[in-house]
Amino acid sequence: MLPMPSCCPLFARAMRFAWFKTPGIAVAAVVFAWPPAAFAQNATADAQTAIPASPAAASTVAVATNAAGAVSPASGTSASPVVPVPPSELYGVLYRDVELAHLYPDSKTFADMVPNLPPASVVAAYAQQKAQPGFDLKRFVAAHFTLPGRETKHYVSDPNQSVTAHIDTLWDVLRRDPDKTASPWSSLLPLPYSYIVPGDRFDEIYYWDSFFIMLGLEQSGREDLLDDELNNFATLIDRYGHIPNGNRTYYLSRSQPPFFAQMVQLAARREGDRVYLHYLPELRKEYDYWMDGANRVAPGSAYRHVVRLRDGTLMNRYWDARDTPRDESYREDAETAQQLPQRQPADVWRNLRAAGETGWDFSSRWFADGRTLGSIDVTSLVPVDLNCLVTDLERTLAKAYRLKGDAAQGERFEQRAAQRAAAIRSVLWDAQLNAFGDYDFTAHRLTHRLSAATVYPLYFGIANKAEANAVAATVRAKLLRAGGLATTTVQTGQQWDEPNGWAPLQYLAVLGLRRYGHAALAGQIATRWIETNVAYYQRTGKLVEKYDVDAKAGSTAAGGGEYPLQDGFGWTNGVLRTLLAMYPQAAGNSTRPADVPEGPSGVSAAASAAAAAPQTTHRLHETPQAEPGK
């Protein structure tokens, strides 16, 4: 849980909402919210926050008063100079007005801007000027905010580089130096060590992406960057009590799939067991964050990330401490809620935010009707991937405590891991699908929606042999595609659905299947994924966030989601580099764009042109995107 700084009295304020109207859209502008515990007071099984009956007249100006330079969220030795409050709360009405005016194509743009004056002064100026004749909102923003310049590497793909050499080169292109943030009002949470960003619009560190990036760093011999990544995450845990979705203030209210234990294991395989002891304090804090409230949640109810089933079984769910539009997707979330008059906006926004914590934003996996975003219901589900990750965290803690000489704690965590693994096998095994799935604890039933998350119990060695064999058969029959492993079997236009495939799921499937003796199927998935990645690289000079695995290798760009297809791309690079080391023959004789026979427009020329073009511009046909709320 994020600690409440005692040095600034404004952080003791309870959460209040001010409701405002914009043509056709009602949006809650959060006046202030701290500490996060205030969000959790009514976190029950349905996880709803009541909407105020009447508008509040409180001003947002007081949010910024006396906070400059005074607030530090640190509980350890690496304090951050940034005030841990998201822009939507710092600027209130102004933030809402800018986002809903659609001044920027990407809602994230304004979220990442830095004010030229303290927020109190900016908010006061806006209140004074906005009603004046001829007021221009875009000019006001330009005068009062600055978009920090990105670190420019001026990189252009070399058609004569193999895909492996391309990846090795990209690590330095995607590397960001330690942050030296001067403004306490920046949304960027500064990190003390160098780090790798995914790429394109994602110019900050992301939690679960980073594990798969670290796999590639290891293969590329970049142990320096691998250690920096791990130390940055330990710093975030020490500062905030958990690893946020990314190092932005607007990501602090949630985390992402907890791969920190896997990161520690990765480092320990190279450096020895001392790594477990070194990171034991952070491993325990990570666990305490995900298990907050476990000692007081009643059977049949939930509190934050913890769910206790009616029989007393303790499991976890995805959650977000806030129930307002996401800062980075504010307009999209406001429009989604507007299209759903039958649902309370706070309920919609909580679940959209919780989907961000899953990393699968968005997918039919989270849709109550299996098809539409308007039915999103993440917080009612006990997801198989999260509970496998927490099992692994418990096992890692058991090992760390034993290495420390604390046998009692080691045994305690081993028992917890065994109990959770048994619950995964009993509660989350779906005999109808012949696969593992997710459980709706409010409806007391499985969702019966097949997804590639079924491979998690294999990757973590939780499935028994019969279950693993059944999962392998299901994967082969229903999820294996020409280009790799499909994410689901449903086409909704959302990016974590058919026809898209994602690097992390390929890696987890390959390792999980190999673990249970299904080497041939694992090899098929790996080879098809490698071929898809390499063909796309040879056609465009790029490695991207996701791929259309239904299409002929590399012939169609993936689509869906809230933003264009992203280039870079961190976890794609990491997984491809790792799988190429495991299956070196899968890529064929050459992976250089220059070695591909000339096509209609010339492949080598196309590769250079794509690399030099704006990063979100792609020459290949894109799969149609989903409309908001559809």
Which residues are catalytic, by number?
A: 361, 545
The C-alpha atoms of residue 451 and residue 561 are separated, in whole angstroms, by 17
Q: What Rg do the C-alpha atoms of the chain give, in angstroms?
A: 24
Residue 616's closest CA among 203, 308, 231, 322? Answer: 203
449 contacts 364 by C-beta, under 8 angstroms: yes
Contact partners, residue 198, CB within 8 Å, separation at least 6? 174, 206, 209, 213, 545, 566, 568, 569, 570, 571
User: How many helices, marked H, and strands, marked E, lie in the chain?
Assistant: 22, 18
**Cis upstream peptide for 614 (omega within 30°):** no
Q: SS3 breakdown of the chain: % helix, strand, coil, rounded to 5?
A: 45, 10, 45
The C-alpha atoms of residue 170 and residue 145 are separated, in whole angstroms, by 31
Contact partners, residue 101, CB within 8 Å, separation at least 6? 137, 138
Residue 340, Cβ density class (10 Å: 0-12 exposed, 13-18 middle, ≥19 buried): middle
- Helices (H), ranges, 436-518: 456-459, 465-474, 503-515
The C-alpha atoms of residue 187 and residue 326 are separated, in whole angstroms, by 13
The C-alpha atoms of residue 111 and residue 252 are separated, in whole angstroms, by 14
Give bridge partners of residue 439 from the DSSP assignment.
382, 446
Q: Is the dihedral of CA 441, 444, 446, 447 positive or negative?
A: negative
The C-alpha atoms of residue 296 and residue 4 are separated, in whole angstroms, by 22
The C-alpha atoms of residue 104 and residue 218 are separated, in whole angstroms, by 38
- Helices (H), ranges, 31-112: 37-40, 87-91, 93-100, 108-111
The C-alpha atoms of residue 41 and residue 35 are separated, in whole angstroms, by 11
The C-alpha atoms of residue 455 and residue 461 are separated, in whole angstroms, by 10
Residue 487's closest CA among 513, 515, 533, 455? Answer: 455
Residue 356's closest CA among 186, 198, 495? Answer: 495
Residue found by looking up tokens 């070196």 in the block: 584
Residue 567's closest CA among 100, 115, 174, 219? Answer: 174
Residue 437's closest CA among 464, 461, 460, 471? Answer: 471
Tell me the CA end-to-end span of the chain in Å, nearest whole number.
35
Give bridge partners of residue 308 from the DSSP assignment.
301, 314
Helix or strand or coil: residue 199? strand
Q: Is the dihedral of CA 161, 166, 170, 171 positive or negative?
A: negative
The C-alpha atoms of residue 499 and residue 623 are separated, in whole angstroms, by 9
Q: What dihedral angle (degrees, nearest 10) is formed by the CA atoms of 147, 153, 157, 163? A: -100
Give bridge partners of residue 484 from the DSSP assignment.
481
